[in-house]
Copies of this chain bind each other. A is one copy, B any other.
Amino acid sequence: MNTKEKIVEVALSLFNEKGTDSITVRHIAKEVGISHGNLCYHYPTTDDIIFKLYENLVAELNIEISKLPVNQVDLWMIYHSGKITFSLLYKYKFLMLDFVGIMRRIEAIRTHYRQLVVKRRLEFGMAMQFLEKGGYLKPEVIKDHYANIIEVNFIVGDFWVSRAEIMFEGPENEKLNYYLSLMFVPVLASLTEKGLVQYLEIMKELK
C-alpha cells in the first residue's frame, strides 16, 4: 500500500474514533508514521482527506449496489440494498456523525450530496411504484404519502448512526439491524397481505 492510501486508511479510523474536529494533519501523520510535511504534500488539509473518503464511500456504494439483481423489486431487494448501504455508512460513520459540519464546510461534498439525494428520491419513488405494481404495497390513499415516507426514511437513513452513537449500547451488528428495521416502519401499515408475509420473513432474518 502506498503512502496516499495509508493516509486515507489511518484517517478513516482516526475520524471514526475521535471525530473530525479534534484530528489534525499532524495527528494523522504521526499515526501513519510520516512527517506532517509529507502528509501535506499528498493532502494539504484534513478536508481534502475527508473529501477523498467521501468519494470512496460513494464509489463503494455504487459498486455494491450495482451487484444487486435488478430483475425484481420486492421487499427483499429493499432490504438487501438497505443492508449494504447501512453497513457502508457505518464503515464511514464519522461522515454521518459530523454530517452537518462537513456539509457546511466542504462545498464539493455538499453539492454532490444534494444531487445524490435528487437521484435517490427518484429511485425510491420508482421502487415504491414497483412495490405497488407487484402487489406488496397498497395504492396511496393520501396525497404525497409515499413521497413523505421517502423523506422520513432519508432522515432515518442519514441520522441513525448519530442516534445510535448517542443512545444505543450494544454490538455493531445489533445496532445496524435495529435501525435497518426502522426503515420499514413508516410503510408497514400500507403493506398488502403479500407484503406483510415478506416483511415478516425479513424480520426473522434480522433477529
Which of B100, B156, B181 lies in contact with A155, CB distance below 8 A? B156
When chains A and B are docked, how far (Å) is the Cα of A142 from the Cα of B101?
Answer: 38
When chains A and B are docked, how far (Å) is the Cα of A113 from the Cα of B154?
Answer: 24
**Interface contact A162-B159, CB-CB below 8 Å:** yes
Report the stretch among A61-69, A73-81, A122-130, A183-191 that lies at the interface. A183-191
**Contacts A155-B155, A159-B159, A188-B145: A167 and B117 contacting too (C-beta < 8 A)?**
yes
A110 to B, closest residue via Cβ: B166
When chains A and B are docked, how far (Å) is the Cα of A186 from the Cα of B21?
Answer: 35
Q: Does A19 contact B (CB under 8 A)?
A: yes
Which of B155, B162, B189 lies in contact with A99, CB distance below 8 A? B162
When chains A and B are docked, how far (Å) is the Cα of A163 from the Cα of B188?
Answer: 23
Q: Does A165 contact B (CB under 8 A)?
A: yes
A127–chain B nearest beta-carbon distance, Å: 17
| Residues 156-206 (chain A) with a chain B CB within 8 angstroms | 156, 158-160, 162-163, 165-167, 181-182, 185-186, 188-190, 196
When chains A and B are docked, how far (Å) is the Cα of A194 from the Cα of B160?
Answer: 33
When chains A and B are docked, how far (Å) is the Cα of A103 from the Cα of B98?
Answer: 12
Q: Mark A77-102, 1 if CB is under 8 A from B, else 0.
A: 00000000000000000000111110
Q: Does A3 contact B (CB under 8 A)?
A: no
Write out the residue numbers on chain B whose beta carbons fall within 8 Å of the beta carbon of A151: 182, 185
When chains A and B are docked, how far (Å) is the Cα of A21 from the Cα of B159?
Answer: 20
When chains A and B are docked, how far (Å) is the Cα of A160 from the Cα of B148?
Answer: 13
**Interface contact A186-B152, CB-CB below 8 Å:** yes
- For the complex with contacts A19-B101, A103-B166, A159-B162, 10 further pairs of A-B residues with Cβ separation under 8 Å are A97-B101, A100-B166, A114-B167, A148-B181, A149-B185, A152-B152, A152-B186, A155-B159, A155-B160, A159-B159
Residues of A within 8 A of B (CB): 19, 21, 97-101, 103-104, 110, 113-114, 117, 142, 145, 148-149, 151-152, 154-156, 158-160, 162-163, 165-167, 181-182, 185-186, 188-190, 196
